[in-house]
Amino acid sequence: MNYANLKKFDIADGPGVRVSLFVSGCRHHCRGCFNAVTWDFQYGEPFDDKVEKEIMEALKPDYVQGFTLLGGEPFEPENQAVLAGLLKRIRTAYPKKDIWCYTGYTYDRDLVPGGKVYTEYTDPMLSMIDCIVDGEFIESLKDVTLTFRGSSNQRLIGLRGYQPPEDRKRDHEIKHFSGGNPDR
C-alpha cells in the first residue's frame, strides 16, 4: 500500500487534534474530489515500518485526541490488510484515543458480508473504528456548513455507541447505526 500524506496536527478531519493518514488508491472518482491525486494506487510513498513508527510517535502527546484514516479510499480491498494491522496496533497502544475513518463506500451496503469491498479484513478494521464517515462525495449535495463532511448524503456513524468527549462535541450530527454487521 502507498500513502499520499501524513498529517501530524490535523484539526479538520474529526474532533480535536488528530494524526491523519491519507492512503493512496480510490475507485470512486467523485466529481469535485478534494484529493484526486490519491486515486492512483501508485501515488505517494510506500507505507512501511518507518511511517508506522512516525504515526505512533505523533499520537503520543495528550493533546492528540485520535487518529483519522482517509484517502484515497481506506476500504479498497488492496489497502485493507495493511490498515487492519495498523489500526490494531494503534488501538492496542492508545486505547483511549479515538479512531475515525472516511470511506466513499456505504457502510451498510458495501462493508457487510457479500458487500462490494467486504474482505476478511473488513470486520477487523471496523471493530477498531469509533466513527466512520461514509458515502461518496456528491458535488450537487456539497454543503460547507456540514461538520466533518463534504456533502449531505454522507453520514457520521458512531460505531458501538461512540460519542466524542463532552468538551469536544462539535460533531452533534453523529448517528448511531442500528443495522449491518450484527456480529461485531
Dist CA 45 CA 51 (whole Å) = 10
Contact with ligand SF4 (CB under 6 A) among 10, 13, 73, 98: 73
Closest to ligand SF4 by CB, 59 or 70: 70
Q: Quote the least distance from Cβ 91 to ligand SF4, whole Å.
A: 24
Residues near ligand SF4 (CB under 6 A), total: 14
Cβ neighbors of 171 (< 8 A, separation 6 or more) are 14, 15, 131, 147, 148, 156, 164
DSSP symbol at 161: G
Closest to ligand SF4 by CB, 23 or 174: 23
Nearest CA-CA partner of 180 in 97, 105, 96, 95: 105
Q: Quote the least distance from Cβ 83 to ligand SF4, whole Å.
A: 15
Closest to ligand SF4 by CB, 137 or 148: 137
Dist CA 146 CA 52 (whole Å) = 31
Dist CA 3 CA 47 (whole Å) = 6
Contact with ligand SF4 (CB under 6 A) among 15, 66, 74, 104: 104
Chain positions 6 to 35 lying near ligand SF4, rule: CB under 6 A, are 26, 28-30, 33-35
- Is residue 13 within 8 A of residue 102, CB to CB? The reply is yes
Which residues are near ligand SF4 by CB under 6 A? 26, 28-30, 33-35, 38, 71-73, 104, 136-137
